[in-house]
């Protein structure tokens, strides 16, 4: 009787999940849904032997992992060739028809979801495993995180014996906006765009965090199937829909290339109405037999292309200009806008970069301006429309004093940036702490954005050095800080004392000093005291240190507050001398180039990981480059690497190399 009740509740919840998360058509209220879920949780809690992997109660996230396991795929997850003009699409059509000896061809056109590609495997209808794309052939097992996405069915209806599908995980606009609101309220770094937010959420070792992020998925391809015969892409999508998948929306089949081009235009015009980001349209040959005849190159299939849309632009009114203070003290002017819908989200702020940019574009408060969103969380003002001026517009001037700490700001000759040089400026504090504890710096596990903000807001720390004086009793009083997490954090802080002088120098956040320069300084001077006592001309003798960097280091250590931080580190027992005793030299003799925005790594963190394994990081691509690590918005460096035939890796493959 109890087992029948549990099975009935599971089926009810499954149907309601499908209505809500797949069809976007809820059939009961949230209260009624929660009541069903609570009843099921109670029954399973009283009868744990009846809990199964496909129960909706098993979506909440499990025990944090130490590392993701590798998944080697039988069928590679290929990437697509990008095209940027209608002529390119027509050329693709001509190549396809020529290769198929003039056969009639059907094309499927579907929106290109801007997310993260994943594989989902099902055995006898049950969700077996999910993995990232990685390098196409090897990915990472993120099953536990994917189970938290409610539009992924845990059990399929009328399923074949084995099925592997490919989908795109994304963060809907509403979920993205809510997440960034929480980040902002907590004083944490906001995510650059929904794709980066989705990527960071999918690669959480703690699936409970993933469960809070509101991720979704569209399934768009059958990778492998055993127990059913499918002959075309459109047939496959319809088949997947019958089994309960949320398939890619708005896909259509065409026989003429002019209709394909018209559909690409239609999707472009409609994309601002979607609740998810798209960055193009995908054109695919429909017939699987024709796909097999066309084949693939080493990098991409010959039967599909991705048409990429240019950044969307809109006009709106610039009502004010406000100044924000970043981690390095740079004062950045941002435009306050009349809200406008662009690229699927309502925009009310845009970056203006610096005062020189404002003057060059003659942007004034009260102007009608053109904005565009090209991968950044704060869109960019590209121009003012002078023809629409009324005479009431006001010229903006940068403040002479920091809006956060009231210290005088400085602007050095030849620099566009105006900055606050007070190392204890409250606007910089949380960002400085996050940087101090980051992977490329002191590498303090557990010191994420939320914990950093919590420690600052509770007045427990005022600099990174204060981390080494935290008391267990004080930490236990904080929200979501239990005995085990506190013990782990304190252990990680203790372990970081041996990080080494190069990481300490980088962690201090000295302007212009990245991880590579920090290592060169540590190797040259050998101790923090020698570095502090060095004059600008001595510093300039160090490789990678020019006059500007040398003066920045001198200015930093001429500040009494900076010396106080160093002394706190010294008295806490932090290692302030350098020892070159690398044990991991797997990248010895290898040169890397980093380009674009990586989903979870900051560039300096990735560089630190490479250098700690004996590799070298270069700023330009040449024949001597061994690897190019490419993220989103990668530009000329990626193109040059492709031209030279240099190995290109994404973040997933880079992480696999590190492991």
Answer with the one of 360, 382, 410 that is the final residue of a domain. 410
More confident residue, 477 or 385: 385
Token digits for 467? Answer: 């981390």
Q: Using 50, 70 and 90 to split pLDDT, how confident is the model at 160?
A: very high
Q: Using 50, 70 and 90 to split pLDDT, how confident is the model at 97?
A: very high
> Residue 89 belongs to a domain with what CATH number?
3.30.470.30
Mean pLDDT of the chain: 86
> Residue 595 belongs to a domain with what CATH number?
3.40.50.10190
Burial of 485 (0-12, 13-18, 19+ CB in 10 A): middle
Phi, psi of 647 (to 5 degrees): -60, 125
Residues 11, 92, single domain; the answer is no
More confident residue, 78 or 20: 78
Residues 167, 259, single domain; the answer is yes
Write the pLDDT tens digit of every residue in 179-198. 888 776 665 667 767 888 88
Q: What is the mean pLDDT of residues 527-551?
A: 87
Lowest mean pLDDT segment, chosen from 18-22, 77-81, 356-360: 18-22
* From 5, 8, 97, 112, the catalytic residue: 112
Name the residue range of residue 643's domain. Answer: 591-658
* Element holding 82 (H helix, E strand): strand 81-83
| 157 part of a folded domain | yes
> Residue 404 belongs to a domain with what CATH number?
2.40.50.140
| 236 part of a folded domain | yes
Percentage of residues in the chain with pLDDT exceeding 70? 92
> Residue 473 belongs to a domain with what CATH number?
1.10.150.20
Residues 246, 108, single domain; the answer is yes
The answer to whether residue 21 scores a pLDDT higher than 60 is no
Task: Assess contact for 504 and 481: CB atoms under 8 A.
Answer: no
Lowest mean pLDDT segment, chosen from 88-92, 124-128, 596-600, 652-656: 596-600
More confident residue, 208 or 218: 218
Whether 97 is catalytic: no
| 634 part of a folded domain | yes
The answer to whether residue 174 scores a pLDDT higher than 70 is yes
Residues 304, 166, single domain; the answer is yes
pLDDT at res. 60 = 59
Q: pTM here?
A: 0.57
Residues 110, 252, single domain; the answer is yes
The CB-side HSE value for 356 (13 A sphere, CA atoms) comes to: 7
Residues 269, 130, single domain; the answer is yes
Residues 92, 106, single domain; the answer is yes
pLDDT at res. 15 = 78
Answer with the one of 410, 444, 461 that is the final residue of a domain. 410
Write the pLDDT tens digit of every residue in 617-650. 887 888 889 999 988 767 778 878 888 888 888 8
For 330-371, give the DSSP string.
Answer: BEEEEEEEEEEEETTEEEEEEE---HHHHHHTT--BT-EEEE
Residues 288, 318, single domain; the answer is no
Q: Using 50, 70 and 90 to split pLDDT, how confident is the model at 65?
A: low
Strands of 549-646, DSSP E: 591-595, 616-618, 627-630
DSSP designation for 247: B
Burial of 435 (0-12, 13-18, 19+ CB in 10 A): buried
User: SS3 of 117, please?
Assistant: strand
Residues 144, 282, single domain; the answer is yes
Write the pLDDT tens digit of every residue in 553-582. 998 999 888 999 999 999 999 999 887 655
Residues 491, 517, single domain; the answer is yes
Phi, psi of 439 (to 5 degrees): -60, -40
| 566 part of a folded domain | no
Lowest mean pLDDT segment, chosen from 55-64, 133-142, 551-560: 55-64
Q: What is the mean pLDDT of residues 508-512?
A: 86
| 76 part of a folded domain | no
pLDDT at res. 162 = 95
| 109 part of a folded domain | yes
Answer with the one of 532, 556, 580 that is the final residue of a domain. 556
Structural domains of the chain, count: 5
More confident residue, 502 or 516: 502
| 353 part of a folded domain | yes
Q: Where are the alpha helices (DSSP H) in 100-170?
A: 143-146
> Residue 47 belongs to a domain with what CATH number?
1.10.287.610
| 128 part of a folded domain | yes
The answer to whether residue 375 scores a pLDDT higher than 70 is no
Residues 251, 147, single domain; the answer is yes
Q: What is the mean pLDDT of residues 231-258?
A: 94
The answer to whether residue 391 scores a pLDDT higher than 90 is yes
Residues 102, 227, single domain; the answer is yes
Q: How far is CA 32 from CA 35, 55, 342, in A?
A: 5, 18, 36
Write the pLDDT tens digit of every residue in 297-314. 877 899 999 999 887 788
């Amino acid at each position: 009787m109890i087992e029948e009740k549990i099975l009935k509740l599971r089926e009810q919840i499954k149907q309601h999940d499908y209505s809500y998360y797949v069809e976007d058509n809820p059939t009961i209220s949230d209260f009624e849904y929660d009541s069903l879920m609570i009843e099921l949780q109670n029954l399973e809690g009283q009868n744990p032997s009846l809990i199964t992997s496909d129960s909706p109660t098993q979506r909440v996230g499990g025990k944090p992992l130490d590392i993701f396991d590798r998944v080697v795929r039988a069928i590679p997850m290929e990437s697509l060739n990008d095209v940027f003009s209608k002529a390119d699409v027509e050329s693709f059509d001509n190549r396809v028809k020529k290769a198929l000896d003039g056969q009639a061809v059907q094309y499927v056109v579907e929106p290109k979801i801007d997310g993260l590609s994943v594989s989902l495997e099902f055995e006898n209808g049950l969700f077996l495993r999910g993995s990232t794309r990685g390098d196409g052939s090897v990915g990472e097992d993120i099953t536990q995180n994917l189970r938290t996405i409610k539009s992924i069915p845990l059990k399929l209806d009328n399923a074949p014996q084995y099925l592997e599908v490919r989908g795109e995980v994304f963060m809907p606009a509403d979920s993205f906006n809510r997440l960034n609101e929480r980040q902002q309220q907590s004083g944490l770094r906001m995510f650059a765009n929904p794709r980066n937010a989705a990527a960071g959420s999918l690669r959480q070792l703690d699936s409970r965090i993933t469960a809070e992020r509101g991720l979704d998925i569209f399934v768009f391809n059958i990778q492998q199937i055993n127990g059913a015969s499918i002959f075309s892409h459109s047939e496959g999508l319809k088949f997947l829909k019958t089994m309960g998948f949320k398939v890619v929306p708005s896909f259509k089949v065409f026989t003429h290339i002019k209709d394909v081009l018209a559909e690409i235009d239609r999707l472009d015009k409609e994309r601002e109405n979607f609740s998810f980001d798209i960055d193009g349209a995908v054109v695919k040959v429909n017939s699987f037999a024709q796909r097999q005849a066309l084949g693939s190159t080493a990098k991409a299939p010959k039967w599909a292309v991705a048409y990429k849309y240019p950044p969307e632009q809109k006009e709106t009114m610039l009502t004010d200009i406000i100044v924000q203070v970043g981690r390095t003290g740079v004062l950045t002017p941002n435009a306050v806008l009349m809200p406008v819908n662009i690229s699927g989200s309502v925009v009310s702020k845009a970056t203006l970069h610096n005062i020189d940019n404002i003057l060059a574009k003659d942007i004034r408060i009260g102007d009608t301006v053109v904005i565009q969103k090209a991968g950044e969380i704060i869109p960019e003002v590209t121009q003012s429309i002078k023809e629409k001026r009324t005479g009431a517009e006001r010229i903006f001037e940068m403040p002479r004093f920091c809006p956060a700490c009231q210290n005088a700001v400085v602007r050095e000759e030849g620099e566009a940036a105006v900055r606050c040089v007070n190392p204890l400026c409250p606007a910089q504090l949380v960002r400085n702490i996050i940087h101090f504890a980051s992977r490329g710096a002191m590498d303090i596990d557990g010191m994420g954005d939320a914990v950093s903000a919590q420690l600052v807001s509770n007045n427990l720390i005022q600099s990174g050095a204060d981390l080494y004086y935290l008391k267990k009793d004080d930490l236990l009083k904080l929200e979501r800080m239990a005995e085990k997490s506190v013990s782990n954090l304190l252990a990680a802080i203790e372990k970081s004392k041996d990080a080494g002088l190069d990481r300490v120098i980088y962690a201090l956040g000295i302007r212009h000093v990245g991880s590579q320069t920090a290592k060169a300084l540590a190797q040259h001077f050998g101790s923090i005291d020698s570095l502090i006592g060095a004059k600008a001309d001595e510093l300039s003798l160090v490789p990678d240190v020019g006059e500007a960097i040398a003066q920045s280091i001198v200015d930093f250590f001429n500040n009494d507050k900076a010396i106080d931080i160093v002394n706190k580190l010294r008295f806490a027992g932090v290692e302030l001398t350098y020892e070159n005793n690398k044990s991991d030299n797997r990248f010895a003799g290898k040169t890397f180039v980093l380009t674009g925005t990586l989903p979870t790594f900051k560039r300096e963190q990735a560089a630190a990981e490479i250098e700690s394994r004996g590799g070298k990081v270069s700023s330009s691509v040449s024949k001597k480059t061994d690897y190019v690590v490419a993220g989103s918005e990668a530009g000329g460096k990626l193109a040059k690497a492709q031209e030279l035939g240099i190995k290109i890796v994404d973040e997933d493959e880079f992480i696999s190399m590190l492991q």
